[in-house]
Amino acid sequence: MSRLQALFANKKERVLNVYFTAGYPQLDSTTTIIQALQNNGADIIELGMPYSDPLADGPVIQESGNIALQNGMTIAVLFEQLKKIKGQINIPIILMGYMNPVMQYGFEKFCADASAVGVDGLILPDLPEYEFEMEYGAIIKKYGLDFVFLVTPETSTERIQQLDNLSTGFLYAVSSSATTGKDKDFNSVEKYLKQLQSMQLKNPVLVGFGIKDRNTFESACKYANGAIIGTAFIKALEGSINIDATVKQFISAVV
């Protein structure tokens, strides 16, 4: 059983996954933020690998990625950072990013190195389902990594079931087809989440895009196992003088 699967076996609801960009606000902020998230009640850490052309990300996450790249963040640097804290982190870490830099690094080398430094799973939104099935899924599985697919309100029932079958760890339910960081009317999202809930999916479901505070977190948790917060957390980190205090304050305001 992976750490993600063990988490959901023990905690069926109100799972909090917090996203931030590696190397933001400073190059060496990554490990400090990871430890602060673990110490203050996050259940999962979703670590963004900055990329110059992030299709699904809104302006706040895009800007954090630009700053992280300017700070010198690369996949190799990130793996060195994670290696230093591997034995100190007990909650699952997921890497979220895009195929271009991963392919430049070398896909199998990326999976091997990620596994070696304590990464539990991957989210690669631009990895096509067909290529996952034909080639990349076997490599991901070889290194013991979970893989998370995304579904949206426009995803057909048949495709949701297919992506659920291919995913391990959890299924990422995008609350709308907009980019991250947009405000959502959760009344309109409820119908979609109820549909997912009624489908008896094999994976737990976490809701992302538009979760920013206690109200939106509670709304998402009514129909899913938990939620993913990114943009609001990155805004909180901007200009933070004391990361520990910032993280503590942010999480206590959500859960």
157-175 residue pLDDT tens: 999 999 999 999 999 999 8
Sheet holding 171-174, edge to edge: 146-147, 121-123, 93-96, 44-48, 15-21, 226-229, 205-208, 171-174, 150-151
Higher-scoring residue by pLDDT: 103, 190: 103
What CATH class does 3-254 carry?
alpha beta
* Average pLDDT rounded to a whole number, residues 223-250: 95
Are 228 and 208 within 8 A, CB to CB? yes
pLDDT of 100: 95
Measured CA to CA, the distance from residue 49 to residue 103 in angstroms comes to: 13
Residue 96 · residue 48 · CB < 8 Å: yes
| Residues forming a β-bridge with 47 | 20, 95
Structural tokens at position 196: 């997912």
Which two three-digit tokens encode residue 171?
């299924």
Q: Any idea which residues carry the catalytic annotation?
A: 46, 57
Q: Is 63 left (phi over 0), alpha (psi -120 to 50) or beta?
A: alpha
41 dihedral zone (left: phi>0; alpha: psi -120 to 50; beta): left
The one-letter amino acid at 162: Q
pLDDT exceeds cutoff 60 at 178: no
Task: Kindly tell me if the per-residue pLDDT of 183 is higher than 60.
Answer: no
Q: How many CA atoms lie within 13 A of 243 on its CB side?
A: 17
pLDDT tens string 58-75: 889 999 999 999 999 999
Residue-wise pLDDT for 9-35, tens only, equals 999 999 999 999 999 999 999 999 999
Q: What is the pLDDT of residue 156?
A: 95
pLDDT at 85: 97
DSSP code at position 150: E
The mean pLDDT value of the chain amounts to 93
Q: What is residue 175's predicted lDDT score, i.e. its pLDDT?
A: 86
DSSP letter at 147?
Answer: E
- Check whether 214 has a pLDDT greater than 70: yes
Element (H, E) at 172: strand 171-174
Helices (H) and strands (E) in the chain — how many of each?
13, 9
